[in-house]
């Protein structure tokens, strides 16, 4: 039995290490890693947010946690498959077969983003809250990276990056301006247009800023919110 297992293990490793299967196996491992990472990221977030801020029975909350975790893991796995498969196809059938093109990653990301995160639910006609959160997270990181790139000497916008002193000055003051304007805008939106904010953000802000305006005694002031 042990010899049979060792033989099976050796055969499996020969397939795994064979270069001709690399692209296919990279797609499979990308799906695996996307699902694992999505589960690790979403489960604790959903556990805290749903248990603290969502109403309903314990069973209903457990189902919501499971559904949010499953959606996040599935979306990242699906995107990894589409992205890596598209890159592999473009690399194989592109203008220079066997070589990655300069825009392959952009095209693959565009396709994956549209298929996985750009669709609406056929039932409700709405984009899922999990997809919204993932895309918003990605957008924020892209905006910060582009802002850094814009002032990068020799790479960014000529009017900014051509002068080292000007680039350093903008880099120094950009973050305080960005942080203060972001908080000013979100507080203004929460005050006058809360329905347009993302639900989990709205819930947390309601808890911190709106629910803290009222209490009816020591119990609801010190250790119970309501």
From the list 69, 3, 67, the residue with the least C-alpha distance to 36 is 69
Q: What are the start-end ranges of the H helices in the chain?
A: 2-17, 22-53, 58-93, 104-112, 129-150, 158-161, 164-192, 199-205, 218
CA atoms 182, 187, 188, 192: torsion sign: positive
Per-residue pLDDT tens over the stretch 186-195: 999 999 999 9
Q: Please report, for the chain, the start and end positions of each structural domain, with discontinuous segments joined by +.
A: 1-119, 193-226
Residue identified by tokens 């006609």 is: 125
pLDDT at residue 66 tops 80: yes
Distance, CA of 114 to CA of 5 (rounded, Å): 43
Output DSSP code: residue 194. Answer: G
Name every residue whose Cβ is closer than 8 Å to that of residue 226 and which is 6 or more positions away in sequence. 211, 220
Residue that wins the pLDDT comparison between 1 and 126:
126
Per-residue pLDDT tens over the stretch 91-136: 999 888 889 999 999 999 999 999 999 999 888 888 888 999 999 9
Per-residue pLDDT tens over the stretch 44-62: 999 998 998 888 999 999 9
Q: Which two tokens stand for residue 187?
A: 């507080």
């Amino acid at each position: 039995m042990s010899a049979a297992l060792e033989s099976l293990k050796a055969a499996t490793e020969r397939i795994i290490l064979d270069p001709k299967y690399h692209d296919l196996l990279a797609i499979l491992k990308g799906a695996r890693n996307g699902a694992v990472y999505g589960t690790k990221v979403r489960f604790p977030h959903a556990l805290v947010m749903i248990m603290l801020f969502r109403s309903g029975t314990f069973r209903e909350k457990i189902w919501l946690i499971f559904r949010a975790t499953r959606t996040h893991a599935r979306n990242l796995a699906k995107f990894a498959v589409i992205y890596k498969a598209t890159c592999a196809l473009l690399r194989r059938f592109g203008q220079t077969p066997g070589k990655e093109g300069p825009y392959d990653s952009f095209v693959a990301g565009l396709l994956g983003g549209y298929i996985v995160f750009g669709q609406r639910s056929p039932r409700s006609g709405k984009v899922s809250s999990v997809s919204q959160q993932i895309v918003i997270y990605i957008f924020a990181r892209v905006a910060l990276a582009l802002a850094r790139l814009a002032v990068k000497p020799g790479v960014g916008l000529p009017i900014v990056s051509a002068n080292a002193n000007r680039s350093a000055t903008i880099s120094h003051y950009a973050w305080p301006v960005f942080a203060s304007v972001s908080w000013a805008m979100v507080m203004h939106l929460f005050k006058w247009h809360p329905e347009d904010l993302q639900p989990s953000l709205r819930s947390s802000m309601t808890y911190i800023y709106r629910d803290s305006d009222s209490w009816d005694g020591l119990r609801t002031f010190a250790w119970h919110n309501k």
